[in-house]
C-alpha cells in the first residue's frame, strides 16, 4: 500500500510492542503447527514459510530492507553480479534507490580511491542501453542500468579499479531457509508466525473458515501496528496515503 513520509519532531510515534524474540525457521514451523493443531502437516511448511517471509517483506519498504551494497570494479569488466557478493548472499535486489532530494542525487556512487566520488545515474531508455552493451568505450563510469536480475552494468566500462556503492531495497531469495530467518529482524518474527498460522488455516480449512478469518485479522492488526512504528531514529513516521510511494525510483 502506498505511503508518504511525514516528520513529527515532537510527537512520539506508535511502537510495535513485540518481545523481540528471535526465532529460527524450525521454531516458527513447530509453533505454527502446535497453534493450528498440526493441520500444517498436509502442507510443505518450509516453502510456505519462504512465501510468508517474502510477503511480509513486500508489505512495505521497511527501513531494514534498505541495504548499501559495495563492490570493487575491474578494468574492462562492465557487468557485476550483486547476488555473488559474500555480503549479499541469500538476498536479491527488488529496486535500486535513486532520486533527487534538495537537488542532490541520492543513489549509486562510484569512488576513485583518493577520496573523490561521482554519481551514477540510471539509464532507462532501451536504445541507449543497447548502445552501451555494444560499446567498447572505457572510462570512469557515470551511468548504470540493471542488465537482468542483480546484474549491475556500469557505463562506460570501467577503465580501472573503483569502488561502487549501491543503495537498494532488497528481498530474501525464494529458497528454503536452513537455520536463520533472513533479513527480517527478531522483533517482527512473531508477526511472521501469525502470517504462517493464517496460511495454514487458509489452505487447509478455506478462506471462509472462522479460524482463518480470526488468524488473518490478528495478522492484519499486528501488521498495521508494525507499519506505524518509527524508523531507525525518532521523529520520522510513515503514514498511509493514496499517493505514489516514491516520487523517483530507478529500476
pLDDT of residue 115: 86
Strands (E) in 18-72, as ranges, are 66-72
Cα separation, 225 vs 184, in Å, equals: 16
Residue 222: closest CA among 193, 199, 191: 191
| pLDDT-derived band at 241, boundaries 50, 70, 90 | very low
Identify whether the C-beta of residue 229 lies closer than 8 Å to the C-beta of residue 15: yes
| pLDDT-derived band at 218, boundaries 50, 70, 90 | very high
All three cell numbers of 87, joined, read: 555480503
Alpha helices (runs of H) in the chain, residue ranges in sequence order: 25-35, 45-57, 126-134, 189-205, 210-227
Amino acid at each position: 500500500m502506498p505511503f508518504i513520509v511525514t516528520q513529527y519532531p515532537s510527537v512520539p510515534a506508535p511502537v510495535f510492542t513485540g518481545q523481540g524474540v528471535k526465532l529460527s525457521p524450525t521454531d516458527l514451523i513447530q509453533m505454527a503447527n502446535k497453534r493450528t493443531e498440526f493441520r500444517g502437516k498436509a502442507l510443505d511448511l518450509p516453502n510456505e514459510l519462504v512465501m510468508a517471509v517474502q510477503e511480509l517483506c513486500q508489505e512495505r519498504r521497511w527501513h531494514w530492507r534498505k541495504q548499501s551494497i559495495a563492490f570493487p570494479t575491474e578494468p574492462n569488466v562492465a557487468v557485476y553480479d550483486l547476488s555473488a557478493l559474500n555480503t549479499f548472499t541469500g538476498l536479491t535486489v527488488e529496486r535500486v534507490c535513486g532520486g533527487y532530494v534538495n537537488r542532490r542525487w541520492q543513489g549509486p556512487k562510484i569512488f576513485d580511491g583518493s577520496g573523490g566520488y561521482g554519481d551514477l545515474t540510471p539509464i532507462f531508455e532501451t536504445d541507449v542501453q543497447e548502445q552501451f552493451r555494444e560499446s567498447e568505450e572505457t572510462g570512469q563510469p557515470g551511468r548504470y542500468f540493471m542488465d537482468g536480475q542483480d546484474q549491475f552494468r556500469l557505463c562506460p566500462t570501467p577503465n580501472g579499479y573503483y569502488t561502487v556503492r549501491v543503495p537498494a531495497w532488497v528481498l530474501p531469495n525464494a529458497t528454503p531457509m536452513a537455520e536463520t530467518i533472513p533479513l527480517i529482524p527478531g522483533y517482527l518474527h512473531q508477526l511472521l508466525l501469525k502470517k504462517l498460522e493464517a496460511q495454514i488455516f487458509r489452505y487447509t480449512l478455506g478462506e471462509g473458515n472462522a479460524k482463518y478469518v480470526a488468524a488473518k485479522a490478528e495478522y492484519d492488526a499486528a501488521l498495521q501496528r508494525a507499519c506505524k512504528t518509527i524508523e531507525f531514529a525518532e521523529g520520522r513516521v510513515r503514514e498511509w496515503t493514496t499517493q505514489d510511494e516514491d516520487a523517483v525510483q530507478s529500476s
